[in-house]
Structure 1
Amino acid sequence: MNRFKRSLVIASLALASACSFQARATLQPGDAAPDFTAPAWLAGEPFEYSLSRALRDGPVVLYFFPAANTPGCNVEAALFSQAIDDFKARGVSVIGVTAGNIDQLRAFSADTATCAGRFPVAADEGAKISARYSAVMERNPERSSRTSYLIDRNGRVLAVHSDMNPAQHVKRMLESIPGDPD
């Protein structure tokens, strides 16, 4: 085997190893959800959000989104806002978290076209929370990816949905809630 082919094989093996590590790092059902606190807003009002405090009241849908006031994120927030009564009826709260456009979250949380004041959104300065949840954009690790988690009251991941298309996140999270929806 000549030097070029040997280097190509070694590089391919290293890349495959790195990719498989990244796949293993993603949180999966059954994994412990990392606890966090973050500055948040609900209907424009600031407060400190704590996942562990929220879990005392029941399961939580934690959804990461790339940036406030961008087309896909506005659609996703509006879909969660429209479905919030369905989540509440099942004893589940919702929190949106982003590392993008965090200076706009106060207004975003109250905007009738997005969150409509129906659930809080939290700032993830430097994408630190997103990184702990393996929810950062591959090409821009300073931004949150579009990833949703259903976390049970014991802090375990029940379901994960990661897709940059916002259309299915609400549906997938509602389908993942244990028990009868009626």
Structure 2
Amino acid sequence: MSVAEGDQAPDFTLPATGGRTVSRAGYKGRPFILYFYPKADTPGCTKEACAFQEALPALGGIGIDVIGVSKDKMPALEKFAAKYNLAFPLASDESGAVVEAFGAWVEKSMYGRKYMGIDRSTFLVGADGRIAKAWRGVKVPGHAKAVMDAAAALQKA
């Protein structure tokens, strides 16, 4: 299954760093960014998380929260968040149900070997709970800025 722009965001409730719980219901009436990344504390995922952390003041200024999601266990996420002073919640989807609901669990290929993994994807969810913008197969450089620009445009609309 995969969600597209205009679709209702799938429901989710996940444990997150800092003893938090994140859920779609918890953001009812508020826009938010949900991004999926393959593995905590790897080079690309670290760059992406740090870019979103840098964008946090600007995003907060327009009333938009950020949630990072991976299949990592909570201890790995807590360590990652502490190491890079990440203030936004990193959520653990060990079962992969939320990753699959958003269509971010895909077949990948490396050195000719096929395997299943998380497609680096980001979803901007509007205050109405619908997917306002979706990015799939994300390349990290410049991505947080593109998301921030789309979020700012959403808030002006």
Same fold (TM over 0.5): yes
The question of 1:50 aligning with 2:23 is answered yes
Structure 2 counterpart of 1:122? 91
Contact 2:49 2:86 in 1 (8 A): no
Comparing both structures, which one devotes a greater share of its residues to strand? 2
Unpaired segments of 5 or more residues in structure 2? 109-114
SS of the residue corresponding to residue 96 of structure 2 reads: helix
Contact 2:2 2:100 in 1 (8 A): no
5 Å-filtered alignment, 1:157-168, equals 157-168=131-142
| Post-superposition offset of 1:108 | 1.1
| Post-superposition offset of 1:102 | 4.8
The question of 1:174 aligning with 2:148 is answered yes
Change (3 A) 1:102 1:145: farther
- 1:45-99 Cα shifts (integer Å, max 9, x gaps): 222221211234x201000000101110000000000110111111100000001
> Please, what TM-score do these two structures have when normalized by structure 2?
0.86
The question of 1:78 aligning with 2:50 is answered yes
SS of the residue corresponding to residue 126 of structure 1 reads: coil
| Post-superposition offset of 1:106 | 0.8
| Post-superposition offset of 1:164 | 4.2
Structure 2 counterpart of 1:104? 76
Instruction: Considering Cα pairs closer than 8 Å and 6+ residues apart, tell me whether 1 or 2 has the greater RCO.
Output: 2
The amino acid of 1:175's aligned partner reads: D
Structure 1 distance, partners of 2:13, 2:127, is: 16
SS of the residue corresponding to residue 148 of structure 1 reads: strand
Comparing both structures, which one devotes a greater share of its residues to helix? 1
The amino acid of 2:133's aligned partner reads: A
Structure 2 distance, partners of 1:117, 1:103, is: 14
> Please, what TM-score do these two structures have when normalized by structure 1?
0.75
Structure 2 distance, partners of 1:121, 1:54, is: 15
Greater than 3 Å deviation, 4+ residue runs = 100-103
| Post-superposition offset of 1:137 | 3.2
Give percent identity, aligned residues only. 30
SS of the residue corresponding to residue 104 of structure 1 reads: helix
Unpaired segments of 5 or more residues in structure 1? 1-24
Larger Rg: 1
5 Å-filtered alignment, 1:10-89, equals 25-41=1-17, 45-56=18-29, 58-89=30-61
Structure 2 distance, partners of 1:144, 1:39, is: 18
Change (3 A) 1:83 1:98: same
Structure 2 distance, partners of 1:133, 1:68, is: 19
